[in-house]
C-alpha cells in the first residue's frame, strides 16, 4: 500500500504531478479542494457547514476539514493507497491525520516535497496568469502567496522531516523528468 502526501509551493506543478504519480502507482489522488467541492455540491451536512464559511470568505475550521478528510479516507477506493494534496496544513492537522490512519492500522509512507526556485515560480505563475487572464495575479501578489505558503507549511514539513518521511524533489524541468525524480525518490525506501 502507498499512502503519500504531496506538498509544494504555488506553481510547482503539484496538481499535475499528483495525477501522474497516482497513475503510475495505481492509487487515488485526493485533493482537499475536491473534497470540499464534492461535499458542497452533494449538500452533505459537512458541505453545508463548510459553505457557510466559504461564502463568507473565511477559512473552514479544522473540525470540518478533519471530518471531511476522515470520511474521504474511509471510502473503499483508497484501500490500496492514496496521494493527499492540500492536507494537512497545520501541525494540529498532522496529528489528526495520524489519528485517522492509526484508526485504520495504517501509517503515512512518505511526503513528496516539490521544491523550486522562487523567481522561476514567479515567472511561471505570471505566465499562467497572463494566459488565464488573471490580472489580479501581479508579481507582488504571487510573492505574497509564496510567503504565506512557506509560513503555513514549514511546521508541517518539519514534523514529517523529523520522522524521516520527506522526499525532497526538484519540481522544475520537463514533466516526465519531474515525475521520474519523484518515483525514484519513492522507490529508494521500498
Q: Please indicate whether residue 163 is annotated as part of the active site.
A: no
Q: Is 11 annotated as a binding residue?
A: yes
Q: Which residue of the set 3, 20, 89, 124 is catalytic?
A: 89
From the list 41, 127, 134, 150, the catalytic residue is: 134
For residue 106, count CB atoms less than 10 angstroms from its CB and return exposed for 0-12, middle for 13-18, buried for 19 or more: middle
68-81 burial, b for 16+ CB within 10 Å, e for fewer?
Answer: bbeebbeeeebeeb
The answer to whether residue 145 is catalytic is: yes
Residue 89 falls in the annotated catalytic set: yes
- Consult the annotation and say whether 138 binds a ligand: no
14 catalytic per annotation:
yes
Q: Is 145 annotated as a binding residue?
A: yes
Q: Is 181 one of the catalytic residues?
A: no
184 annotated binding-site participant: no
Roughly how many angstroms between the first and final C-alpha of the chain, as a whole number?
11
Residue 16 annotated in ligand binding: yes
**53 marked among binding-site residues:** no
Catalytically active residues, by annotation: 14, 89, 128, 134, 145
Q: Which residues are annotated as a binding site for AMP?
A: 32, 37, 58-60, 86-89, 93, 134, 145
Amino acid at each position: 500500500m502507498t499512502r503519500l502526501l504531496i506538498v509544494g509551493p504555488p506553481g510547482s506543478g503539484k496538481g499535475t504531478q499528483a495525477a501522474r504519480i497516482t497513475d503510475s502507482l495505481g492509487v487515488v489522488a485526493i485533493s482537499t479542494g475536491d473534497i470540499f467541492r464534492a461535499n458542497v455540491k452533494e449538500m452533505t451536512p459537512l458541505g453545508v457547514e463548510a459553505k457557510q464559511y466559504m461564502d463568507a470568505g473565511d477559512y473552514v475550521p479544522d473540525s470540518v476539514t478533519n471530518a471531511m478528510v476522515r470520511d474521504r479516507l474511509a471510502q473503499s477506493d483508497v484501500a490500496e493507497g492514496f496521494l493527499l494534496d492540500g492536507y494537512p496544513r497545520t501541525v494540529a492537522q498532522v496529528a489528526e491525520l495520524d489519528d485517522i490512519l492509526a484508526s485504520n492500522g495504517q501509517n503515512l509512507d512518505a511526503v513528496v516535497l516539490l521544491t523550486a526556485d522562487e523567481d522561476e515560480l514567479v515567472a511561471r505563475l505570471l505566465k499562467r496568469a497572463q494566459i488565464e487572464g488573471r490580472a489580479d495575479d501581479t508579481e507582488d501578489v504571487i510573492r505574497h502567496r509564496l510567503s504565506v505558503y512557506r509560513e503555513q507549511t514549514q511546521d508541517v514539513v518539519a514534523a514529517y522531516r523529523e520522522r524521516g518521511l520527506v522526499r525532497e524533489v526538484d519540481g522544475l524541468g520537463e514533466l516526465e523528468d519531474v515525475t521520474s525524480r519523484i518515483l525514484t525518490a519513492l522507490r529508494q525506501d521500498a
